[in-house]
Amino acid sequence: MNKKEDYLCNSKVIGEVLIPLIEFYECRGCHETTLSPEASHELITHVREQERNAIASLSSDDLITAGQAAAILGVSKQAFSKNPKIKKGYVYFTQIGTKKAYFRKSVELFRESGDGRFPITKWKFSHQESWISQNDNAREGWQEVVYQVDVAQYSKYTWSSSLRAGL
């Protein structure tokens, strides 16, 4: 049966991610879900954006240059930059102007395991019942949903028709 509602998926970087109002097919018998190519693209785009935001929020105290990262790995700067895994994001980086700066912890983890990705946040749902998007036609309203990550409180915004009247 076709559904259009919020969809919860997992990311290795940030854990569970809520994708607002995505269309998917759910099997009535086994409850397996299948996404169309368009919905898959929308999901991937949304998750990558959330991951980039999470990576950008990491402390900039341990940023290193590509040359320093290459030295940690024991390879040349060119070999580091051309490594397919590094190009695919297996080592976290951020842009500073036109240059990439790499996170030391991610580079060291890459040296040890071949994968420098680590969970940035661990999600604990404190208001899971609030994660509901109703407005699938005109996405006009935002509803703030609060969830807890460790001790700090963060906010997630999702579409909601309940606020449309106030806009």
β-pairing, 93-96 vs 99-103, is antiparallel
Q: Mean pLDDT across the stretch 107-116?
A: 93
Residues 98 and 131 in one domain: no
Residues 53 and 128 in one domain: yes
| Domain end among 113, 129, 152 | 113
- Where in the sequence is the domain holding 150, given as residue range(s)? 2-57+121-166
Residues 50 and 68 in one domain: no
| Domain end among 70, 88, 113 | 113
Residues 71 and 147 in one domain: no
Q: Mean pLDDT across the stretch 20-46?
A: 87
User: What's the pTM value of the predicted model, to 2 decimals?
Assistant: 0.56
**Is residue 7 a contact partner of residue 132, using CB atoms and an 8 Å limit?**
no
Q: Which residue has the higher pLDDT, 97 or 128?
A: 97
In tens, the pLDDT along 67-87 reads 999 999 999 999 999 999 999
Residues 6+ apart with CB under 8 A from 144: 155, 156, 157
Residues 125 and 48 in one domain: yes
Task: Give the other-Cβ count within 10 Å of 5's Cβ.
Answer: 15
Q: Work out the pLDDT band at 6, boundaries 50, 70, 90.
A: confident
Sign of CA dihedral 21, 22, 25, 30: negative
Residues 34 and 49 in one domain: yes
Burial classification of residue 78, based on how many CB atoms lie within 10 Å of its CB (0-12 exposed, 13-18 middle, 19 or more buried)? exposed
As for how many domains the chain has, the answer is 2
Residues 34 and 75 in one domain: no
Residue 93 CA to residue 105 CA, distance in Å, equals 11
- Tell me what percent of the residues of the chain surpass a pLDDT of 70: 72
Residues 126 and 161 in one domain: yes
